Chains A and B, each alone.
Chain A
Amino acid sequence: MVEVYTSSVIEAPADRLWAAVRDFNALPNWHPAIAESRIEGGQPSDQVGCVRAFRLKDGGFIREQLLALSDYDFSCTYSILESPMGVENYVATLKLTPITDGNRTFAEWSAEFDCAPGRESELTDLVGNGVFQGGFNALKEKFGS
């Protein structure tokens, strides 16, 4: 089992950031790697169990299922159903926590997955730096003061 953990500080209030990231179908609005996204079966994007199907800008196709969504503690957990990355049992959580001294947010994005032996560090870098840190950097640019 590989574990990846990326965290950052974003200079924007947590409720504002949450409004943007809680929409399970909104990745193309803020994540630079995502080209387009839709929710399968016409379900609402905050219905736990819904599946998003999205296409990366590099052409890759990914399906992910929403496992948990909490407006109470600003967190969202999902799994990968299908992807070109070569990961199994991939479960990730994105969580925002307000930083009370200053109107900013502590953002955490973590994942656990299995992969073929020898690919651990490559995938850790792809997920941790590419997907997670890349998303944080985009949120900083979009929402940071």
Chain B
Amino acid sequence: MSVKVECSTVIDAPIAAVWDVLRDFNGHDRWHPAVRRSSLEAGRQTDQVGAVRNFTLQGGERIREQLLSLSDKEHRFRYAIVDADVPLQNYLAEVRLKPITDGNRTFWHWSSKFDTPPGQENELRDLVTQGVYEAGFEAVRERVERTRPGTGIAAPALSAGNGIDGTAMVIDRHGGPEELHAAKIKAPAPGPGQVRIKQTAIGVNYIDVYCRTGYFKLLEPPQAPGMEAAGEVIDIGPGVSHLREGQRVAYACPPVGAYTSHRTMGAALVIPLPDWIDDETAAAGLLKGMTAQFLLHQVHAVRPKQTVLIYAPAGGVGRMLCQWANRMGATVIGATSSEAKARIARAAGAHHVVTPGEKSLEEQVMDLTKGHGADVIYDAVGKDSFAHSIAALATPGHLVSFGQASGDIGSWNVSSLASKSVTLSRPNYGHYTDTPEKIAAISADLFDAIRSGTVKVEIGQKYKLSDAAEAHRALEARETTGSTILIPDQT
């Protein structure tokens, strides 16, 4: 039977960066999760048409593939399987990239035709679609979106003459707060699809700590951490139509690099700010508020009368989840560690708060809900809470696991989830906020919620940008309340 597979995606990086990874016919073992080893036969070069690559997959299977055509002009190559341990016959594939001129991104199309033994069509179609193409999309996405220059620190300014001097807080290696130090930077003139921003307030999030320590592989030193800031547009590059000079804007998106006074970055995910919201509130609330929005409205659509259990209800996202879920008509239960934090949770809208006591968390939740359990649980604790969360769920229940403050959750037997018809979600911020359209919808909803008073952005701490290390120390010592922001030093 003949099978045809077509997959496509959008990578948020310029076409040159994506092509740089893909045109290396012998490079899959450096990025594709399915490929353990790759070598070229007969001493050919990686861009030599006719070259044969020899793959060893993670399962030990061998595949030999030949490069049939390669075009740097069209960003396209074709290849065929010569022989393989998997029954893909007459397999002919094409990889093709096209520039998305509106936003300086890349459209990637990966397609193939092949024959299979009778009865194996679906199995092999799924293998190629998910195991090879879609897995490859994600791996390249992570690679090029992460290593893109964010602040222009490491990358030489393309037009140094037009660079604007600024100061960033960067790290030269992963480590403690003391690694953060001031560095002079030049924010280059914006290229196609880019915007240059004079930043006025920068949001500090726990993910910045993970980036600094190297726990999340989002920051390659030397580089500045930070995912969120507000400021004023200095100028825009060609092709940017939704922003203009002098406009107040904010963003909460990768790549990292927000700890800086001036920044040149992709404009696609930068949004204009309404007049009534000030820069500090935007920088303090955008990332946490957009997280709360998609958790309550998209990952799970919370309905009136549902019981919602929220861990860390006194924290930045937790507090907004309590406020918003309460306004949506849900019964809100907070789970926290101390009476002081329980008071904050109640003030934020938690109807009940459970704290460690004689009874387990699940027993307390079952008591409060007369044996029903929580319809949805927002759990960012991770390792220590997972089993308790499953036990506290209603039937059917939805566990939204969106963080791991206590450590990796580890391995769990999914069969046991059937005992309560559990739905388990592991949402990733990036996937809900990776297009201008998604950001526009989520931020509009958030701004409405802030303006109506449903969600309150509380700025608990304000530091000078040059004191970023002190801000990180306080955050890690759990001394902070509400949001923390950094203000660029006056120059």
Contact = CB atoms under 8 A, between A and B. Distances in A.
Contacts, number: 62
Given A97-B109, A101-B134, A140-B437, A8 B9 contact: no
B359 to A, nearest CB: 45
A137 B283 CA distance: 28
B379 to A, nearest CB: 27
Interface string A93-117: 0000111111010101000000000
Contact of A133 (B9, B109, B241, B437): B241
Given A101-B137, A145-B437, A9 B9 contact: no
A74 interface: no
A6 B100 CA distance: 7
A106 B10 contact: yes
Contacts of B437: 11, 140, 144-145
A7 B8 contact: no
B45 interface: no
Given A97-B109, A106-B107, A6 B6 contact: no
A136 interface: yes
Interface string B331-366: 000000000000000000000000000000000000
A5 interface: yes
A11 B7 CA distance: 17
B99 interface: yes
A102 B435 CA distance: 11
A100 B7 contact: yes
A133 B102 contact: yes
B98 interface: yes
B7 A101 contact: yes
B98 A106 contact: yes
A97 B8 contact: yes
Interface size bracket, A side: 20 to 34
A7 B102 contact: yes
B102 A106 contact: no
B207 interface: no
A136 B100 CA distance: 12
A6 B103 CA distance: 11
Given A11-B435, A133-B241, A145-B441, A99 B10 contact: yes
B334 to A, nearest CB: 33
Contacts of A108: 98
A5 to B, nearest CB: 7
Interface in A115-145: 128-129, 133, 136-137, 140, 144-145
Contacts of A7: 98-102, 107
Interface in B89-103: 98-103
The residue among A7, A100, A104, A136 with the most chain B CB atoms within 10 A of its own CB is A100
Contacts of B438: 11
A3 to B, nearest CB: 12
Contact of A8 (B7, B100, B137): B100
Interface in B8-37: 8-10
Given A7-B100, A101-B134, 12 more contacts: A6-B101, A7-B102, A9-B100, A9-B102, A11-B435, A99-B9, A101-B7, A101-B8, A128-B101, A133-B241, A137-B241, A144-B437
25 contacts: A6-B102, A7-B99, A7-B100, A7-B102, A8-B101, A9-B10, A9-B107, A9-B435, A11-B435, A97-B109, A99-B8, A99-B10, A100-B6, A100-B7, A101-B7, A101-B9, A101-B137, A106-B10, A106-B100, A129-B239, A129-B241, A133-B102, A133-B239, A136-B102, A145-B441
Interface of A: 5-9, 11, 97-102, 104, 106, 108, 128-129, 133, 136-137, 140, 144-145
